[in-house]
Amino acid sequence: MERDQKFHREIEKVFIAYTLQMLFDIEKQKAPGGTIKTITKETLSNFKVKIPNIKEQTKIADCLSSVDEQIFAQTEKIKTLKLHKKGLMQGLFPSAQEVME
């Protein structure tokens, strides 16, 4: 098949972003290298993606975005609870300076 062949299909940007991120994450696990992982042009050229119709893409993108929002909200709650815990622990165990006073 000729590489310059063009296909025109309606694409939901958020759907394709999630799809590409997933493919990169999979390849990153397999990629050679220590600290800096390398994904070659050849690997990128071999990505195969099944693209559903635009209505299905939108549903998938909305679902994944919703899950991301929930994860973010839970992460913020955890940060707040850890900060609260730290404050409580400081109240239970006063600093050496407070003990000397």
* Residue 3 located in a structural domain: no
Residue 53 lies inside a defined structural domain of this protein:
yes
CA-based nearest residue to 52, from 25, 19, 80, 94: 19
pLDDT tens per residue across span 20-64? 888 888 887 877 666 666 677 787 778 788 889 999 999 999 999
What's the structural domain count of the chain?
Answer: 1
Residue 37 lies in a domain: yes
The secondary structure of 24-51, three-state, reads HHHHHHHCCCCCCCCCCHHHHHCCCCCC
Please identify which residue in the block is written with the tokens 């000729």.
Answer: 2
Residue 44 in any domain: the answer is yes
Q: Let me know if residue 45 belongs to a domain.
A: yes
Show the domain range for 41. Answer: 13-93
Answer whether 65's CB lies under 8 Å from 14's CB. yes
Is 6 part of any domain?
no
Rounded to a whole number of angstroms, the distance between the first and last alpha carbons of the chain is: 81
pLDDT at 3 over 60: no
Residue 88: inside a domain, yes or no?
yes
- Tell me the whole-structure pTM to 2 decimals: 0.66
Residue partners of 24: CB distance under 8 A and separation at least 6: 39
